[in-house]
Amino acid sequence: MKKKLHVVLSLLILTSMLVAAMPVFADSHMGEMKAAYSTMLGSMVGYNTVKADGLMVEMAEDAPPFLLDVRTTPELEENGHIEGAAHIQLADLAKNLDLLPSFDTPIVAYCGSGWRATIAMTALHAMGWTDVRALKTTFADWVAAGNPVAEGVPEAVALNAAEPNAAIVAEIDAVLSAYGVKPYGVATADGLNTALVDNPEMIVMDVRRTSEWTGKGVIDSGDVELVSIPLERFIAQMALWPADKDAQIVIYCGSGHRSTMAMEIMWSMGYTNVSSLKGGFGGWADAGYATAEYAAPELDAAYAAMLENMAGYNTVKADGLMVEMAEDTPPFLLDVRTTPELVENGHIEGAVHIPLADLAANLDQLPAFDTPIVAYCGSGWRATIAMTALHSLGWTDVRALKTTFADWVAAGNPVAEGVPEAVALDAAEFDPMAAIFKDATLGKYGVKPYGVITADALNTALVETPDMFVLDVRRAEELEEKGVVDVGEAAFAHIPLEELIAQIANWPAEKEAKVVIYCGSGHRSTMALEILWSYGYTDVSSLKGGFGGWVEAEYPLAEYVAP
């Protein structure tokens, strides 16, 4: 029988001694720590893990990785260690960094099960090491497979090869001195199930990907607060972390690895009572405890309102914007280009800057929902994505500038150098989970190539991927007058952008299907692109230049036959 459970963030009942041992995180080091974690989360491959077979291959190379054993000394005395490894037990890791190689040397940390190795890997990234992974093979399995093992405890050798920030090292040392000993922040399914009943003020945090929440469900949290933030965006979405750093928090993922990374991150940020669910969601479900369907944020109404009320497909050109900027109440200008673009080329005077990929994680910098906003980028493509996304999140008057930034500058319109300072306005009360869903999308698609497909690439794809789906979002009269793209054997549908939500039943059935959308020039199809992304479609692109670009490239056309 499944048991009802309450969800929040922590279940490991730590003693007051451990709580007292936690450091108060110094604000002066917060930026550097956050940057290190952001870099780790943005660049990790396979969540920074390696298995025995892969490690054995690497160990045979000319430059094998540095092996770091973080088990306790008695464990090595009893069971030996991987041949060639250095030994620093987890609780003492930050006290013995002189035994480690340079910051860019590949390091593989291991322990008995992988749990402590994950904590060590995450902590080392925070302290400046850039290529650290955790071995996801138990030491017992390593031995059983006949892999190289040496007896006893290896001799410590000082390398003095790296100079980490001493203040950050002190913070990590305080954390590991408290949590680097048993039970290492472990929460069991049984313990969490009990805690959800006994501690209704606790918080449960899910750090899986959004597709996992919607596809597999979530832990049934009952009356306990459930916070969902994908690990990849864990730092970007810090605003959604619990405000109370002493709150009891239990974090879970699929199996326990990602949640343990998140746990260590929160420890280092000064949270005092955080644990990671052993076995993750899989272990919870296998134990027969209650799960629930995850209710994704409602999008239909917001998108439908945008499509019904838009004028000129929510665009403005430079001349019109210049007139509005001279009014008593000018629109709020939002630059969604990357920081290097602003450093090199400047920005429209008075604009706020949030890169497209980070937009949903920085909504506090935006004005009230009904404030007129004009988003712009280099060409208009990203501005269109940003405009559409903001409408889905509650803003009601957002347009995209349909003048390139280069043309804006060439026309002598007002430009300021560099990057404007970020200012939190906290003017709109947006749905935090809607922001999380949008952030997961923009975090992936808000970077090059921004969902772009060229006419050349589409022509090739129509031959190589005959089961793709092509969607024309122009008005019916455009299709009748100008024809359509000849899609060959691919599936074809016509849904005017204005009716995209009303005809949601005619969207592709498979959310993994390869979908290409086109309109006349690329603007409407890019709006549709962002909408489909938001509904979980994973392989959608918008035709650069639209139907006009396809015709100019002299690719085949077909006469439109209305159904």
| pLDDT tens-digit profile, the chain (563 residues) | 232 222 322 322 332 333 333 334 445 677 898 999 999 998 999 999 999 999 999 999 999 999 999 999 999 999 999 999 999 999 999 999 999 999 999 999 999 999 999 999 999 999 999 999 999 999 999 999 999 999 999 999 999 999 999 999 999 999 999 998 989 999 999 999 999 999 999 999 999 998 888 889 999 988 999 999 999 989 988 988 999 999 999 999 999 999 999 999 999 999 999 999 999 999 999 999 999 988 778 889 999 999 999 999 999 999 999 999 999 999 999 999 999 999 999 999 999 999 999 999 999 999 999 999 999 999 999 999 999 999 999 999 999 999 999 999 999 999 999 999 999 999 999 988 888 889 988 988 989 999 999 999 999 999 999 899 999 999 999 999 999 999 999 999 999 999 999 999 999 999 999 999 999 999 999 999 999 999 989 999 999 999 999 999 999 999 988 77
pLDDT for position 563: 76
Determine the residue type at 185.
Answer: G
Q: For 19-168, CATH number? A: 3.40.250.10
Contacts of 541 (CB under 8 A, 6+ apart): 451, 452, 453, 515, 516, 517, 529
pLDDT in tens, 528-549: 999 999 998 999 999 999 999 9
pLDDT for position 249: 97
Check if the beta carbon of residue 296 is closer than 8 Å to that of residue 438: no
Check if the beta carbon of residue 196 is closer than 8 Å to that of residue 6: yes
∠467-471-476 over CA atoms, to 5°?
A: 140
Rounded Cα distance, 152 and 154, in Å: 7
CATH architecture of 300-443: 3-Layer(aba) Sandwich (3.40)
Phi, psi angles (nearest 5°) of residue 178: -90, -45
Segments making up each domain of the chain, as ranges: 19-168, 183-292, 300-443, 452-558
CATH architecture of 452-558: 3-Layer(aba) Sandwich (3.40)
Check if the beta carbon of residue 473 is closer than 8 Å to that of residue 528: yes
Rounded Cα distance, 517 and 514, in Å: 10
Determine the residue type at 73.
Answer: T
Looking at domain 183-292, its CATH class is alpha beta
pLDDT for position 98: 97
- Whether 300-443 and 19-168 are alike in CATH topology: the answer is yes
pTM of the entire predicted model: 0.76
pLDDT for position 532: 95
CA torsion 400→435→395→377, rounded to 10°? -20
396 burial level (CB within 10 Å; 0-12, 13-18, 19+): middle
∠417-421-422 over CA atoms, to 5°?
A: 140
DSSP letter string, 370-397: TS-EEEE-SSSHHHHHHHHHHHHTT--S
DSSP letter string, 186-246: EE-HHHHHHHHHH-TT-EEEE-S-HHHHHHH-EE--TTSEEEE--GGGTTTTGGGS-S-TT
pLDDT in tens, 15-59: 233 333 333 444 567 789 899 999 999 899 999 999 999 999 999
Rounded Cα distance, 282 and 259, in Å: 13
